[in-house]
Structure formats: structure tokens, C-alpha cells
Amino acid sequence: MLDEDVLWDWDSWLSNVALRQVLREAGSPEDREKARQYERGCIQNFLGCTGGVGYIPIRMDRGGFKRPDDVRNSNMHKPCLAQHAAFLVKEDGGDAEWLREQFYHLQAFVNFFEAGA
């Protein structure tokens, strides 16, 4: 089974760090602006899956994801989601406006994770 259309937790963050480095050295301002929507979209897509409890899946594909029956004992996204968001905000000069609507979901996720998910 190939996973070429799957968005994974760590991969989205680390691929973004590498992409930023390449674009900083070899990309045009237009390239960097175009990439920004995809960078933010990775975070927003995951945050759109939080539901009421803060659980976020470790991966999703074009068909979405199936929430496990027992989310407390299931593998889930790592806190790198918050690190990824912080990385983009810092790299964009402190602009966090794009995250405002879903910030509650990020807080719920971190709280869920810290509670021992």
C-alpha cells in the first residue's frame, strides 16, 4: 500500500522545515507565498479533526480518518503540531491571525495530550 496521499504528523512539520530552508535559499517571493497556504493548511487540516475531546489522528488521507473507539489508548498526533504552528508564526514575523479561528482546537489538543492520552 502506497501512502503518497497521506498527511502524517511528524512528516508535515519536518518537511515544512526543509521546504522553508530550500525556499529561503532558492525560492522567489512568489514561491514562498504560494507555499505558505500549504504550510498553514497542514496544521488547519489536522485541527479540523479535533472534535470535542482534543484527539487528533496521527495521519489522515483524502478520505479523512476514522476516529478510534478508544481515543485514550490510540496512537495520535504528537505535540509537534503546536511546534509546527509556532514555527510558522515565528517565521512569518509573529502573524498568528490565520490560526485564530482554530486556536481553541489547538488548546484542546495540547490539554488532551498532557492529560495522558
pLDDT given at position 60: 87
C-alpha cell at position 95: 502573524
Q: Along the 117 residues of the chain, how does pLDDT read in single tens digits?
A: 556 788 888 888 999 999 999 999 999 999 999 999 999 999 999 998 887 789 999 888 888 788 888 888 888 888 899 999 999 999 899 999 999 999 999 999 999 888 875
Q: Backbone phi, then psi, for 49, in 5-degree steps?
A: -100, 5
CA distance 46 to 101: 13
pLDDT given at position 69: 85
CA distance 53 to 87: 25
- At 64 the three-state DSSP class reads strand
